[in-house]
Structure 1
Amino acid sequence: MKNNLEELRKQKGINQEDLADTLKVSRQTISSLENGRYNPSIILAIKIARYFEKPVEEIFIYEEDKNEKK
């Protein structure tokens, strides 16, 4: 899943450690999210959205698999 987390974080002028502390997760979790190695839980996604005052869909971009049935 793609996301705009790094861009939003930099716009706010905070580093990964500060964001991690605010969200009560590790800096490694923030790094993994930003690099697309980890998808957040629903709870963490909502916490992030509330922190940035944006809808979840503006931060996390879900791309459907071409083989996925609708």
Structure 2
Amino acid sequence: MLNNLEEIRKKKNVTLVDMADLLNVRYQTIADKINGTSSFKFSEALKIQESFFPEYELKFLFTPDSSTQPA
């Protein structure tokens, strides 16, 4: 799970729908990517970071929580 992205997203009141609209994908697609079911493409991550969270580093936002990574 992308805990940093999720925490910052909620703090800044950016909805999953906002992110989905930016990338022209379904709301569920964004939820799946944040939960780790699938992955963001680099271009998607960059677009999200530049549009909503320019004050944060890409690596900080999109590094998965170590407890959710496979062993």
User: Do the two structures share a fold, i.e. TM-score over 0.5?
Assistant: yes
| Deviation sequence 1:28-48 (CA, Å, 0-9, x none) | 121012211111111111112
User: How far apart in 1 are the matches of 2:15 and 2:46?
Assistant: 20
User: How far apart in 2 are the matches of 1:12 and 1:23?
Assistant: 18
Match of 1:58 in 2: 60
Secondary structure at the residue paired with 1:13?
A: coil
Question: How do 1:1-70 and structure 2 match up within 5 A?
Answer: 2-3=1-2, 4-51=4-51, 52-53=53-54, 54-61=56-63
> Percent identity over the alignment?
34
- Residue type matched to 1:39 in 2? S
- Structure 1 runs of 4+ aligned residues shifted over 2 Å read 22-25
- TM-score, normalising length: structure 1: 0.71
Tell me which structure has the larger Cα radius of gyration.
Answer: 1
- How many residues in Structure 1 have an aligned counterpart in Structure 2? 65
Listed as ranges, the gaps of 5+ residues in structure 1 are none
Listed as ranges, the gaps of 5+ residues in structure 2 are none
